[in-house]
Amino acid sequence: MKRILLIIAVFFFQAASAKGVYQTPEAFLNHAFNGNIPPLSSVWLTKEKKQAITDILQHNPSFIRVKYWQNGSKTAWILDEIGKEKPITVGVIVETGKIQQLKVLSFRESRGWEVKHAFFTRQFDNIGINDKQQLDKPIDGISGATLSVRALKKIARIALYLEQQL
């Protein structure tokens, strides 16, 4: 009986500790630009961009503009997408059409939190998109985190697509 209670306690502790802020947007940007954060810029969604993002998300975007930071050929994007029920906040650094880093900044779901780990996010390093806005390399999924994996793939595609539009 004690063993069962211990297993249940560990499960709930792990799920509860998975939620949270792993890195603030400001800390992410400081890291991306070595402490010299460039001014904030915005991409407004034209009809064409909105349609492309709708195709990627498989639903209408909840935003009409996307904020980003740029220094030379490097851009940083902070985007949200719903995992199962709640948004996942992700920072993406793109340089010359390839992802340099993708990092989960905040996770609010009770499941799928494994996507925050570097063993998963490193798969996005040096990935671009093709002419159909698909990632040019496969991303391995995580059992039990399918919706979170899909959300991160969508965010990566949006950041790469928008970077092409600059």
pLDDT at 9: 43
pLDDT of 30 above 60: yes
Q: Residue 20: which pLDDT band, with cuts at 50, 70 and 90? A: confident
Rg (alpha carbons) of the chain, rounded to whole number: 17
Q: What is the pTM of this model?
A: 0.87
pLDDT at 1: 58
pLDDT of 116 above 80: yes
Distances (CA, A) of 90 to 73, 117, 144: 20, 12, 19
pLDDT at 5: 43
The amino acid that residue 13 corresponds to is F
Please give the share of the chain, as a percent, with pLDDT higher than 90: 83
The pairs formed by 126-132 with CB atoms below 8 angstroms and a separation of 24 or more are 126/98, 126/99, 126/100, 127/98, 127/99, 127/156, 127/160, 128/97, 128/98, 128/99, 128/160, 129/157, 129/160, 129/161, 129/164
